[in-house]
Amino acid sequence: MWLCNSSVGRKVVMSVTGVALILFLTFHMAMNLVALISADGYNAICEFLGANWYALAATGALAFLFVVHIIYAFWLTMQNRRARGNQHYAVTSTPKTVEWASQNMLVLGLIVIIGIGLHFLDFWCNMQLPEVMHKLGYDVDTTYVTNGIYHIRRTFSNPVFVVLYLIWLAALWFHLTHGFWSAMQTLGWNNKVWIGRWKVISNIYSTLIVLGFMAVVIGFYLQSLLCGCSN
């Protein structure tokens, strides 16, 4: 099959799944910003996105995209290393920051994966998962499954978690700044005019996404200091 057997096909799969994940990050970031504006509004969103069929279907689709993206990322990395030695994931000439990111996409990706695992443990395992288990008949505590504000405050009142999340988000920024425009290049916008534009759009868009997530992390940590409820 072309999408598996061809190097170009594998890059297309990486690009399409990557763009889909970026769209999800945009939605997730916007949803999180609601927490800074209205606790009730954020909890209402969490209740809407609980263990309902549409939320579970979206979670399954997202997990599928994420797994495919990871598999193809490792596949392409190994292929490029065999073909180019240490100059893996080589692309056209780029600014220094992006060039560094392109040369370290595997490491950045691993940090992002670890961060997502931490995020799952902090939130998904305490929210949607218990709600699903409860609906399946298991005796689990569902007191805070739709209280997203509770979990945000609990997590980001701990300075250790704040630092870990900020490191994760920094790695995510580098990963996105290269991955975004590289995906556009793979999908056909690779002429001299548009590739330059996509690099600028990539940097701006990635920065806005990461700053949105950071605002929630730092904002709730500062709130915990002001109210004296830090752990």
What residues have CB less than 8 Å from 98, skipping those under 6 apart?
177, 178, 181, 199, 203
Compute the average pLDDT of residues 23-51.
94
Check if the beta carbon of residue 158 is closer than 8 Å to that of residue 231.
yes
Confidence of residue 169 (pLDDT cuts 50, 70, 90): very high
**Integer Cα distance of 227 and 115 in angstroms:** 27
pTM, whole model, 2 decimals? 0.84
Compute the average pLDDT of residues 72-93.
62
Compute the average pLDDT of residues 82-96.
50
Check if the beta carbon of residue 175 is closer than 8 Å to that of residue 104.
no
Joined together, the tokens standing for residue 101 give 């990111």
Lowest mean pLDDT among 7-16, 46-55, 87-96, 114-123: 87-96
Find the helix packing angle between 105-122 and 53-84, rounded to 10°. 160
**Integer Cα distance of 63 and 69 in angstroms:** 10
Compute the average pLDDT of residues 117-123.
92
**Integer Cα distance of 70 and 79 in angstroms:** 14
Lowest mean pLDDT among 5-9, 86-90, 96-100: 86-90
Higher pLDDT among residues 105 and 224, named by residue: 224
Domains of the chain: 2-227 (1.20.1300.10)
Please give the pLDDT value at position 122: 92
